[in-house]
Structures are given as structure tokens and as C-alpha cells.
Amino acid sequence: ALKRLEADATLSRADRMSALIAQVGMARIDAPKPVAGKTGKAAARPTLPDALLADVREHTARADREITDGYERQAVITAAAYLLEESGLGAESDALLKANLAKSHSPYYLMSELAGNAKSRGDTAEALHWYEEAFSKSEGPATRLQWGASYINAMVELAPEDEARIERAAQQLLTEAAALPDAFYERSGRSLQRVGTKLQGWNKGGAHTASVKRLQGQLDGICNALDAADPKRANCETLLKPAQKKTA
């Protein structure tokens, strides 16, 4: 059934790509599982049948070759890169994404996928490079807060010892948040809350007290500029503070 959907020309390219992604997912369940090594690197993907890999390569190459609409390309190429990565063709996934950076109207989506690929294979430096690039190239106030949050979260997870880099990125994010009227509300508020929660965990046991104290000082200035009756002020003031434990 999935093979028929993949070949159904009445469906969109995205839907046909989804059918092929599902085929790969099922094949991975049945494929022999590779044994992880002792290098700290992620284990390789299961080896898939040659016929399926050929189908994946043909399908993704055709999409890259034939799509002319920018919005369709954005949706399908990111799915194609994911398909290649899931098929164990990580280098080809990276090559597809990099080849499309200049063609994309929102390259930061592709950069985030490059970061995810690098993270999956255990390449911390490359992953952080692409997370940083994605944040740098992101556009739109709420989008920048979202991508900035992803960058900070990745640093805390992958390089928690790099205090200066984490603090610098958090300072930049707070500076951008200060210029937005709705920074502590809805989508932007959720992005900042993710950062706040991550930084609280990073500072568990006082591991980065001085850094968080400096960030709190910057945040205090932002919060104090909000009206005392504004609900967003409460969201701002609790951003870097652990939730109060409820008493019985």
C-alpha cells in the first residue's frame, strides 16, 4: 500500500515522500541493528535493502531536480533530507541541504536540520556551528526567539562547560526580547520559558551562579520596564527562578 502511494502521481510530492519515509521506517524495524562502538559516537543506522536505498536516492534526486516552486521546495527538500538521514545516508542528506541553502527563502530551517544530522552522528562542534548559523540567519522577532532558544538549548545539552558562549547567546536573546512588546506572551513566551528552564537546569547546584546572576540582572531591567499589572511581567520575573514548591 505504501509503495502504491509513493507512485501515485495524483498525490503531492510531499505526500509521496511521506509514503517513502514510512517504508523506510518499517524497513528499519526489520533490519539488523548495528552495535554501538566505544567512541562515544552514535550508532550507525541499520543497513537497509539496496533496492529501497536506490528508491530513496532516485526519489530525492528527482524532487531536487524538478521542483521549481520555492515553497514546495522548502517543504519537500527538508523531508527528503530527513528521508536520506533515516535511511543511513547522512552524508547525502547533508549534501542535499547544503546545495539548497542558497535556493531557500528560509535557509535557517535547513541549517537546523544540518545541526540535527551532526548531533545524531555525535559531531558536537558541527552541530553547534549549524545551530548558531540557523539563529544568525533566522528572520522575524518570534522566529528569532524560537531559533535562539534552540541554539541555547543545544549548547547547554552538548557543551555545558562553554559558559561564556552560553551566556553571550542568552544575553543576545534577552536584548532582542526587550525590544518586543509580546516577548513574554504566547509563542515568544514559550520560547523564552524553554530557555529559562534549560538555564535553571544548567545552574543546578550553583554550577554557573555568576553567569546566571548577570543574566538575571539584565532580565530585571527588562521586567521592571513592564507595567506592574501586566501579566507578562510575572512571566518575565519568574523566567530564571525555579518554580516555588507547593506546600501541603
Structural domain containing residue 217: 140-248
- Does 150 share its domain with 60? no
User: What are 89-123's pLDDT values in tens digits?
Assistant: 999 999 999 999 999 999 999 999 999 999 999 99
Overall number of domains in the chain: 2
Cα 181 vs. chain centroid, distance in angstroms?
25
- Does 159 share its domain with 87? no
- Residue 201 reports pLDDT greater than 60: yes
Please check whether residue 148 lies inside any domain of the structure: yes
Contact status, residue 142 vs residue 188, Cβ threshold 8 Å: yes
- Residue 178 reports pLDDT greater than 60: yes
- Does 100 share its domain with 152? no
- Does 6 share its domain with 72? yes
What is the mean predicted confidence (pLDDT) over 175-201? 96
pLDDT bucket at 35, cuts 50 / 70 / 90: low
Q: Which residues contact 153 (CB under 8 A, 6 or more apart)?
A: 194, 195, 198
Please check whether residue 244 lies inside any domain of the structure: yes
- Does 240 share its domain with 170? yes
- Does 157 share its domain with 93? no
Closest C-alpha to 83, from 52, 109, 107, 111: 52
User: What are 203-225's pLDDT values in tens digits?
Assistant: 999 999 999 999 999 999 999 99
Contact status, residue 94 vs residue 106, Cβ threshold 8 Å: no
Q: What is the Cα–Cα distance from 111 to 108, expressed in whole angstroms?
A: 5
- Does 201 share its domain with 246? yes
User: What are 158-177's pLDDT values in tens digits?
Assistant: 999 999 999 999 999 999 99
pLDDT bucket at 87, cuts 50 / 70 / 90: very high
Which grid coordinates belong to 2?
A: 505504501
Please check whether residue 133 lies inside any domain of the structure: no
Q: Which residues contact 243 (CB under 8 A, 6 or more apart)?
A: none
For residue 88, give the amino acid letter: G
What is the mean predicted confidence (pLDDT) over 135-149? 97
Please check whether residue 4 lies inside any domain of the structure: yes
- Residue 200 reports pLDDT greater than 80: yes
Which grid coordinates belong to 218?
A: 539584565
